[in-house]
Amino acid sequence: MSAPLRVILAQPRGFCAGVDRAIAIVKKALAKYGAPVYVRHEIVHNKFVVDELKSLGAIFVKELDEVPDGAHTIFSAHGVSDAVEDEAKRRALPYIDAACPLVTKVHRQGQNHADQGEEVILIGHEGHPEVEGTLGRIHGKTHLVATVDDVAKLDIALDTPLAYVTQTTLSVDDTRSIIDALTERFPHIQGPDLKDICYATQNRQQAVRDLACGDQQADLVLVIGGKNSSNSNRLREIGADCGVPSYLIDDADGLNPAWLDDVDTVGVTAGASAPEILVQGVLDRLAELRDTRVEVLTGIEESMHFKLPVELRD
């Protein structure tokens, strides 16, 4: 009889404090104000979470012009630009901003640099809602870079006062390379080093590195998370960079049994917006396919917690 499939769960994995808070905001708002409550953009990038909130009465919209006058409105965890918030004010919409406090911190940092007369380079992915929100919160000249090549293309005079901030969910390794390229080109540039990449992103990336590159030597890495989830994509890339076949799946239905051929050890993790119930579903599916022995990786225990907005506290 073949040995059981060893399944190692990454620690930490799944929900972060910002996602917990954003989901709680929608649920509390529904309980307090009644359905429907309108949410601009997916509250977090996870279909299961969004579908659950829809079933409770949340209505998700792309833009505020889809929100009826007077309707309770929530902005997603990714943060929004001043233009979006100004529009909500102009229409006197009763709104709550569910932006993660760590995203809001980056907004403030960027504006502080602009207030000091510095042009601000945002390291991030074009089109991501967090990036659109951050660029739209900085009143001053901004530039967006996503790669080391982008740094070489920047059209900025060498003596320009300059600072950088970063998206919160980037790859630590890629961001280090971009910061190095910026510092080499603009030695006077100010910035937070890697500190804008949030604790949850850094901890989950380290856990996957331990699974895939460390002593655990997973032969396969499964990342549970949405295809549009930035931090989940970065987790998959780390597994792949370690030379281990790595797949990003929404849930157990995304698991292809053929991936388990000749595999002895599977590493399983979840992005910061993926609920634990989906992890359990994948473990159950693995147990249907093979005899499994599940272990939890020793890792960082997180204790971060963010308060709810005053109007929704008990």
Please list the active-site residues. 130
Nearest residue to 196 via CA among 130, 247, 143, 249: 130
Q: Contact residues for ligand SF4 (CB under 6 A)?
A: 16-19, 77, 100, 102-103, 168-169, 198, 200-201, 231, 272
Closest contact distance (angstroms) between CB of 121 and ligand SF4 is: 19
Would you give the DSSP letter of residue 4? P
* Cα gap 166→145, rounded to integer Å: 10
Closest contact distance (angstroms) between CB of 302 and ligand SF4 is: 10
Distances (CA, A) of 10 to 23, 33, 89: 23, 38, 43
Placement of tokens 């993790």 in the chain = 269
Closest contact distance (angstroms) between CB of 77 and ligand SF4 is: 5
Residue 100 or 121 with smaller CB distance to ligand SF4? 100
Residue 76 or 111 with smaller CB distance to ligand SF4? 76
Closest contact distance (angstroms) between CB of 242 and ligand SF4 is: 22
Taking each helix axis as running N to C, give the angle between helix 199-212 and helix 172-185, from 0 to 180 degrees, rounded to the nearest 10: 120
Closest contact distance (angstroms) between CB of 142 and ligand SF4 is: 19
255, 285 Cβ separation under 8 angstroms: yes
Report the phi/psi class of residue 198: left, alpha or beta, with left for phi > 0 and alpha for psi in -120 to 50. Answer: beta
Longest dimension (CA), the chain: 69
Report the SS3 class of residue 46: coil
* Cα gap 306→312, rounded to integer Å: 13
Closest contact distance (angstroms) between CB of 37 and ligand SF4 is: 19
The sign of the dihedral angle between the CA atoms of 123, 128, 132, 133 is negative
Tokens describing residue 19: 């996602």
Distances (CA, A) of 278 to 99, 222, 259: 24, 12, 19
Residue 76 or 265 with smaller CB distance to ligand SF4? 76
φ/ψ of residue 36, rounded to 5? -90, 155
Residue 73 or 168 with smaller CB distance to ligand SF4? 168
Residue 17 or 71 with smaller CB distance to ligand SF4? 17
